[in-house]
Amino acid sequence: MSDLIDELQWRGLVKQHTDLEALRAALNEGSVTFYCGFDPTAASLHHGHLVQLIMMRHLQLAGHHPIALVGGATGLIGDPRMTAERQLQDKETVSEWVEKLKIQIGKFLDFDGANPARMVNNRDWTEPLSAIDLLRDLGKHFRMGTMLAKDAVARRLKSEEGISYTEFSYQILQANDFLQLYRKYGATLETGGNDQWGNLVGGMDLIRKVEGADVHVMTTPLITKSDGTKFGKSEGGAIWLDPEMLSPYAFYQFWLNVEDADVIHFLKVFTFMSREEIEDLERQTAENPGARAAQKALAEAVTALVHGAEETSRVKAASAALFGSGDLREVNGDTLVAATADLPHAPVKIGETTILDLLVTSGLEKGVGAAKRTIASGGAYINNEKVADEGRVVTQDDVLPGKVVLFRRGKRLLGVGRTN
């Protein structure tokens, strides 16, 4: 295997770091215990967290010991955002989210073997802290000038809303996490997104002041598209890992629709494909971009990583079936409902609704005349079967799993009829 740092840099997974050569030496010389924190600010992790989980997996595969920290304490406080104060969640909600995140994280790391992962909750050591302990044992090691200079803090101080003492104190709690994990498990590396750089350095400085030891921090870049815009389903939208918050079909389709300019970069960041495999896909994209070989490989790899091979097979089958390359009746009902959730739709009354009604009501055609011309020219379909009769009604036999009926105008314009 190539040098781990070189590999991570080639994949675009390294942004900022402390002494890189010292870190390289430590990772090459033996097994390093490292950690990454995940705050339960929602019921699911998203694409940004996925980058961290992939980084952790790379490190574990190279023989290092991961600690996944779920912030049951820091999640009650909230890391300062650049824009406005976070809405605090009640303790019961945060506790529920902690358990959900633990399950999601557990799918990416190996908790057995020679270098098993460990899961911890910072509420275990933060909750027993008294106010006096916090101020005497931790607060005395932090300087106001440094705390005020943090990007998020400085920006919020200039805003009309300002920043609460609650969020201002977050950096002390995260720094203490690194100290506690250093003391208890010998953690000497913290990883995180680049927006966490100041917090990571705060933990490193605290360990140096309290323990006289040198440790490392390393961040991943914040992922953006090639045009500089935010990475997500919509501007600023999250690609949730929880199938209840974003269906596996929608998740798969997101990756399948990545632009050519971004796909090779995303293959490096979000998959474990080899250099040779990615370089071959890069060549195929350059020679025949219409085949979208790289996008298909990306969508399959990331969906399998997050949702498993079986679910990936289901969504691929659904994707093919929607456009006539498979049997719609073989598609799982939940998958079919999710796959058609955002399509133009029309209500269906069995034995009454016609193909003409479906095309017009859904908006696939602008009017009755246009719909009739489409049907007459052979461009209308129900469940991928061509319909030549404008009076053709939807029957019970047309109803697919999930109680839907699929109809299509031409090769690509899809609509869904709902029977309830």
At 381, list the tokens. 């379909």
Are the CB atoms for 138 and 132 separated by under 8 Å? no
Q: What are phi and psi of 350, to 5 degrees?
A: -60, 130
Q: What are phi and psi of 242, to 5 degrees?
A: -75, 125
Burial 277-301 (b: 16+ CB within 10 A, else e): ebeebbeebeeeeeebbbbbbbbbb
Alpha helix stretches (DSSP H) within 292-362: 293-307, 309-322, 333-339, 355-362
Is 35 known to sit in a ligand binding site? yes
Are the CB atoms for 380 and 415 separated by under 8 Å? no
Nearest alpha-carbon partner for 126 in 177, 186, 182, 192: 177
Q: What are phi and psi of 297, to 5 degrees?
A: -65, -40
Is 174 known to sit in a ligand binding site? yes
Residue type, 255: W
253: alpha, beta or left, given left = phi > 0 and alpha = psi -120 to 50? alpha
Q: What are phi and psi of 376, to 5 degrees?
A: -65, -30
Are the CB atoms for 382 and 329 separated by under 8 Å? no
Q: Report the relative pairing of strands 385-386 and 380-382 from DSSP bridges.
A: antiparallel
Is 104 known to sit in a ligand binding site? no
Q: Report the relative pairing of strands 65-70 and 216-220 from DSSP bridges.
A: unpaired
d(CA 100, CA 354): 45
d(CA 77, CA 72): 9
Is 366 known to sit in a ligand binding site? no
d(CA 248, CA 163): 38
Binding residues for ATP: 233
Binding residues for L-tyrosine: 35, 170, 174
Binding residues: 35, 170, 174, 233
